[in-house]
């Protein structure tokens, strides 16, 4: 259910969803975390919390979630120390 909700919120791109999506970034189901990455990506360009959550998802244990988080960071066009650190982190 959370996966469908996260996907829907991503299509709406409503900044009010960032809090809920942020809470689901550590959800035990990988499909939910992946949907959270998708949903946060369009929001992260204008919302610091969404960007922070997306950066945190670059350290997800599941490679496809991490890959989407990296791609999402690229799509935001943000060039911050936080984003640069995530992109060059040695544990990548």
Q: Domain residue spans in the chain? A: 2-88
CA neighbours closer than 13 Å in the CB half-sphere of residue 2? 17
Question: What pTM did the predictor assign?
Answer: 0.88
Q: How far apart are CA 54 and CA 38, in angstroms?
A: 9
Q: How far apart are CA 43 and CA 40, in angstroms?
A: 5
pLDDT (tens digit, 9 = 90+) per residue, 60-81?
Answer: 999 999 999 999 999 998 888 8
> CA torsion, points 17, 22, 27, 32, in degrees to nearest 10?
40
pLDDT (tens digit, 9 = 90+) per residue, 15-61?
Answer: 999 999 999 999 999 999 999 999 999 999 999 999 999 999 999 99
User: In the CATH scheme, what is the code of domain 2-88?
Assistant: 1.25.10.10
Sign of the dihedral defined by the CA atoms of residues 64, 21, 13, 41, in that order = negative
């Amino acid at each position: 259910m959370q996966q469908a909700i996260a996907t829907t919120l991503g299509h709406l791109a409503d900044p009010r969803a960032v809090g809920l999506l942020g809470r689901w970034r550590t959800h035990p189901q990988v499909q939910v975390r992946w949907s959270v990455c998708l949903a946060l990506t369009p929001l992260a360009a204008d919302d610091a919390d969404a960007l922070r959550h997306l950066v945190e998802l670059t350290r997800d244990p599941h490679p496809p979630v991490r890959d989407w988080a990296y791609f999402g960071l690229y799509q935001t066009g943000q060039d911050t120390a936080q984003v640069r650190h995530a992109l060059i982190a040695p544990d990548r």
